Structure 1
Amino acid sequence: MKVDKEVGGVCPYGTCDDIHSSANCCSGTIAPENVGTTAVVAVLSSSHIVVANCGDSRALLCKGGEAIALSQDHKPERVDETRRIEAAGGCVTPWKGYRVAGLLALSRAIGDRYLKRYVIAEPDMVYLERSDEDEFLILASDGLWDVIDNESACHVARRCFASSCGDDIRLPCQRDDLASATAASTLVKLAFSKGSQDNISVVVVDLRLRQQ
Structure 2
Amino acid sequence: MVAVMSKLSCLSASCTECIGIQSSYSSGKGRNHDGHIRYGFSLVKGKALHPMEDYHVAKFVQIDEHELGLFAIYDGHLGNGVPSFLQKHLLDNILKEDEFWVDPGRAIAKAYEKTDEAILSNSSNLGRGGSTAVTAVLINGQRLWVANVGDSRAVLSQTGQALQMTTDHEPNTERGSIERKGGFVSNMPGDVARVNGQLAVSRAFGDKSLKSHLRSDPDIQDRHVDGSYDLLVLASDGLWKVMDNQEAVDIARRVKDPQKAAKQLTAEALKRDSKDDISCVVVRFRR
Same fold (TM over 0.5): yes
Task: Identify the match of residue 65 of structure 1 among 160, 168, 186.
Answer: 160
Report what 2:119 is aligned to. 7
Whole-angstrom distance in 2 between the partners of 1:6 and 1:183: 35
Report what 2:175 is aligned to. 82
SS of the counterpart of 2:239? Answer: helix
Unaligned runs of 5+ in 2: 1-112
SS of the counterpart of 1:148? Answer: coil
Provide Cα deviations, 1:56-107, integer angstroms capped at 9, x if missing partner.
10000011110000001110011xx111111111111123221111111110
Report the alpha carbon displacement of residue 6 of structure 1 after superposing the two structures with TM. 2.3
Report what 2:133 is aligned to. 39
Whole-angstrom distance in 2 between the partners of 1:113 and 1:199: 23
Q: When you count strand as a share of all residues, which structure comes out higher?
A: 2
Question: Which residue identity is paired with 2:204?
Answer: A
Task: Identify the match of residue 119 of structure 1 among 198, 201, 214.
Answer: 214
Report the alpha carbon displacement of residue 139 of structure 1 after superposing the two structures with TM. 0.5
- 2:177 is equivalent to residue 99 of structure 1: no
Whole-angstrom distance in 1 between the partners of 2:149 and 2:192: 19
Unaligned runs of 5+ in 1: 11-27, 162-178
RMSD value, Cα:
1.3
Whole-angstrom distance in 2 between the partners of 1:149 and 1:64: 17
Report what 1:186 is aligned to. 264
SS of the counterpart of 1:203? Answer: strand
> How many residues were matched structurally?
172
* Identity across the alignment (%): 41
- 2:241 is equivalent to residue 129 of structure 1: no
Report what 1:109 is aligned to. 204
Question: Which residue identity is paired with 1:72?
Answer: T
Whole-angstrom distance in 2 between the partners of 1:118 and 1:75: 13
Report the alpha carbon displacement of residue 149 of structure 1 after superposing the two structures with TM. 0.7
Report what 1:198 is aligned to. 276
Name the TM-score, length of structure 1 as normaliser.
0.77
Question: Which residue identity is paired with 1:42?
Answer: A
SS of the counterpart of 1:139? Answer: strand
SS of the counterpart of 1:117? Answer: helix
Q: Is the 8 A contact 1:58 1:73 kept in 2?
A: yes
Report the alpha carbon displacement of residue 208 of structure 1 after superposing the two structures with TM. 2.5
